[in-house]
């Protein structure tokens, strides 16, 4: 079977839309008092998704190594099966330990295999480097539909069938989508471009001494920690401030629509604007989006937050891919990217719990939102530092060659 770039991107995108939409975006509805929040505390549910993120982070590097050598197709199918099983198990939970078991033992490993990371590795392996900016842009553009579809869809399903049946339906949707994509669109094997060498070869053991990697990873840790916590609780933040759940769900979905141009355009802008500088600017807009959410009770605060968040959020994932493939493209890309993901998502997994616990402790979302604003602003500074470190590394390489 011939796999065109378009088919590969469409297959991975379909899996991301359904899996990311059902689990990450669906959680923002499930955590409310109209859904699973009526049966479990915010802390319990937050610990559930936090634990799943920790498990996914711990799996990222070995999974990346496996994908470098064996490909992505089998990973996608097994991950979807685990995610589906976990959501079904969660739907039958009546005690906190059952919530933790479903999220930590099943959903966590599943998300490691059906979120963006395997798709990025697959594109790096199967799509020519000259076509990768457009492929990454298209992948994240289509992935932006996840929130637009699944936040309002989850709210409607919960209203119609209750949260338990809704979770079961979402799990089945993930599995069916992955099976179809694996059969129709995702190639088997290592990939045509997996063996290309990096312009600046970097061994895994040397990454800790690579200032580009260290600074950029720290920036991503701060940004993703903040974004993960915000996405999990922003619906609750505005419903707590007095807005109806249906209204907030619509605007949260619209934020995903607003993010779509940035998802596609940002990778293409790298031809004109340096990837690290562009990423730092995106983090600046994200910091402003969080700051705007602090007042909370006005239409300007809610709408302004979702608009600014949408503008920035869509560009983060493809820009990370552009930075990393330009620095580390080659046969070890999956393992290098997985190493970064392990650190990044391990810390980011605590985002939902940190935000939820801070809200419960302070009785308000305001203090934690201010802290997240500072964290994302610092991420912008670290990203610029990573760009300068790359300049110095390449300058030394050029000098030694001459």
What is the predicted pLDDT for the residue at 205? 64
- Using CA atoms of 20, 23, 26, 28 in order, give the dihedral in degrees to the nearest 10: -100
Q: What's the pLDDT score for residue 356?
A: 83
User: Would you state the structure tokens that stand for residue 320, as one six-digit string?
Assistant: 């990370």
Tell me, what's the pLDDT at 209?
Answer: 78
pLDDT tens, 238-269? Answer: 888 888 888 888 888 788 788 878 888 888 88
Position of tokens 């190594």?
65
Confidence of residue 237 (pLDDT cuts 50, 70, 90): confident
pLDDT band at residue 107, thresholds of 50, 70 and 90? very high
Region 68-85: what's the mean pLDDT? 92
Q: What is the mean pLDDT of residues 313-333?
A: 82
pLDDT at position 397 is 65
pLDDT, residue 200, reads 44
Q: What is the pLDDT of residue 46?
A: 82
pLDDT value at residue 135: 86
What does R_g of the chain's alpha carbons equal in angstroms? 20
Q: Any idea which architecture 5-187+197-395 has in CATH? A: Up-down Bundle (1.20)
**DSSP structure class, residue 39:** T
Helix axes 116-126, 132-143, angle to 10 degrees: 150
Q: What is the mean pLDDT of residues 12-26?
A: 92
Mean local confidence (pLDDT), 172-186 = 93
- Is 96 a residue whose pLDDT tops 80? yes
* Mean pLDDT value across residues 72-97: 95
Least confident window among 10-24, 145-159, 187-201:
187-201
pLDDT category at 1 given cuts 50, 70, 90 is: very low
Q: What is the pLDDT of residue 191?
A: 62
Cα–Cα separations (whole angstroms), residue 359 to 224, 232, 299, 364, 367: 19, 12, 21, 5, 8
pLDDT of residue 117 exceeding 60, the answer is: yes
Average pLDDT over residues 207-220: 89
Q: Residue 106: its pLDDT value, please?
A: 97
The tally of CA atoms less than 13 A away on the side-chain side of residue 180 is 13
372 pLDDT more than 90: yes
pLDDT in tens, 118-170: 888 888 878 877 788 788 888 888 887 887 789 889 999 999 999 999 999 99
Extract the tokens encoding 128. Answer: 């020519």
CA dist 361 to 112, 133, 355, 357, Å? 31, 44, 10, 6
d(CA 393, CA 396): 5
Predicted pLDDT of residue 202: 46
Q: Where are the alpha helices (DSSP H) in 202-298?
A: 211-240, 245-269, 275-292
Calpha distance 347→11 (Å, rounded): 29
Candidate from 206-210, 322-326, 358-362, 395-399 with smallest mean pLDDT: 395-399
Mean of pLDDT values over 107-114:
94
Q: What is the pLDDT of residue 193?
A: 55
How high is the pLDDT of residue 55? 92
What does each C-alpha distance from 341 to 12, 326, 337 come to in angstroms?
Answer: 18, 17, 6
| pLDDT (mean) for 21-30 | 89
Residue bearing the bigger pLDDT, 394 or 376: 376
Residue 401: its pLDDT value, please?
A: 54
Q: How far apart are the first and last CA of the chain?
A: 46
% of the chain at pLDDT higher than 70: 93
Quick check: 320 and 383 in contact, CB under 8 A? no
Range with the poorest average pLDDT among 147-161, 189-203, 375-389: 189-203
List the one residue out of 264, 4, 280 whose CA is nearest residue 144: 264
Round the average pLDDT of the chain to a whole number and report it.
Answer: 86
More confident residue, 345 or 74: 74
The pLDDT of residue 400 is 57
Residue 160: predicted pLDDT: 94
- Average pLDDT, stretch 274-303? 92
d(CA 304, CA 306): 6
Which DSSP state fits 218?
H
């Amino acid at each position: 079977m011939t796999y065109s770039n378009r088919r590969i991107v469409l297959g991975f995108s379909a899996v991301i839309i359904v899996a990311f939409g059902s689990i990450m975006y669906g959680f923002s509805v499930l955590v409310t008092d109209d859904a699973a929040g009526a049966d479990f505390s915010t802390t319990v549910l937050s610990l559930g998704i936090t634990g799943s993120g920790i498990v996914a982070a711990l799996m990222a590097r070995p999974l990346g190594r496996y994908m470098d050598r064996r490909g992505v197709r089998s990973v996608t199918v097994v991950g979807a099966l685990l995610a589906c099983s976990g959501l079904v198990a969660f739907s039958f939970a009546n005690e906190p330990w059952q919530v933790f078991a479903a999220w930590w033992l099943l959903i966590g490993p599943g998300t490691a295999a059906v979120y963006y990371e395997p798709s990025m590795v697959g594109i790096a392996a199967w799509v020519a480097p000259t076509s990768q900016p457009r492929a990454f842009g298209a992948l994240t553009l289509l992935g932006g539909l996840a929130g637009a579809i699944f936040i309002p869809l989850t709210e409607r399903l919960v209203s119609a069938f209750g949260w338990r049946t809704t979770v079961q339906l979402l799990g089945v949707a993930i599995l069916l989508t992955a099976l179809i994509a694996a059969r129709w669109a995702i190639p088997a094997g290592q990939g045509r471009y997996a063996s290309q060498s990096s312009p600046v070869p970097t061994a895994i053991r040397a990454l800790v001494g690579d200032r580009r990697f260290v600074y950029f990873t720290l920036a991503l840790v701060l940004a993703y920690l903040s974004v993960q916590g915000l996405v999990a609780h922003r619906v609750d933040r505005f419903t707590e401030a007095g807005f109806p759940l249906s209204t907030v769900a619509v605007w949260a979905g619209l934020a995903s629509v607003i993010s779509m141009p940035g998802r596609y355009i940002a990778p293409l802008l790298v031809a004109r604007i340096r990837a690290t500088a562009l990423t730092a600017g995106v983090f600046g807009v994200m910091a402003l989006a969080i700051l705007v959410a602090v007042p909370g009770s006005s239409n300007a605060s809610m709408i302004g937050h979702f608009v600014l968040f949408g503008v920035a959020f869509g560009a983060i994932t493809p820009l990370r891919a552009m930075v990393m493939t330009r620095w580390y493209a080659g046969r070890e890309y999956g393992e290098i990217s997985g190493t970064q993901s392990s650190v990044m998502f391990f810390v980011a997994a605590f985002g939902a719990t940190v935000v939820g616990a801070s809200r419960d402790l302070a009785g308000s979302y305001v203090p934690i939102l201010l802290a997240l604003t500072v964290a994302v602003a610092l991420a912008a500074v670290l990203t610029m530092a990573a760009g300068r470190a790359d300049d110095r590394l390449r300058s030394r390489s050029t000098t030694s060659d001459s």
